[in-house]
Amino acid sequence: MERKPHNTPKEQHSSVPVWNAEDWFYEDIVIGHQIRSIRRTISEGESMQFNTLMLDMHPYVADEIFAKEKGIFGKRLVAGAFVFSAGLGLVATNCVNAFSYGYDKLRFIKPVFINDTIYTIKTDLEKSPKYPDMGLYRASYEIFKNDGELVLYCEHIQTVKYRDPAGSGAPAKA
């Protein structure tokens, strides 16, 4: 039996679910809920590409000879900003009802090196009503390397739309 390629008509494109997109609301957040990402090995190429984009050519991240001969770790580091970005990206989704408000408690706990493998555990910590249409939500991100050594910790604060503003305990609109 010959199979023909499927050609979805453009009029139907908007009815196909968007990959990696979610539509949860403030009321759907469950305190204590955790997710764990897949693992990801950080390569030499992507580390240097990130450094180049960020104009970060510090010898600890960009100079192999310096790192080996004079660096306190004996080898090059992966830039902390890249570990942060990649680690959060591993658990990121595109929720159409949530908006980043900022990050707290960002700490680079241990170094990450070229060819280390990282993964992230995200934990929903707390939520509270804030605005007439959105509440605040806080989640922790723990980024681990290799066999489970914690290398980075931060807390992400987001505003999240209420499904039902009247029942959320939110302040009334002025």
pLDDT in tens, 60-74: 999 999 999 999 999
Nearest Cα to 37, choosing from 102, 78, 89? 89
Q: Which CATH architecture has domain 27-164?
A: Roll (3.10)
Residue range 128-144: mean pLDDT, rounded? 97
**For residue 118, what pLDDT band results from cuts at 50, 70 and 90?**
very high
Extents of the domains making up the chain: 27-164
Model confidence at 6: pLDDT above 80:
no
91 vs 24, 72, 136, 141, CA distance in Å?
15, 31, 19, 9
Contacts of 159 (CB under 8 A, 6+ apart): 98, 99, 101, 130, 131, 134, 135, 136, 137
Contacts of 167 (CB under 8 A, 6+ apart): none
Which pLDDT tens digit goes with each residue over 15-70?
888 877 888 999 999 999 999 999 999 999 999 999 999 999 999 999 999 999 99
Residue range 156-174: mean pLDDT, rounded? 88
CB atoms within 10 A of CB 5: 4
CB atoms within 10 A of CB 4: 5
pLDDT of 174 reads 67
Rounded to two decimals, what is the model's pTM? 0.88
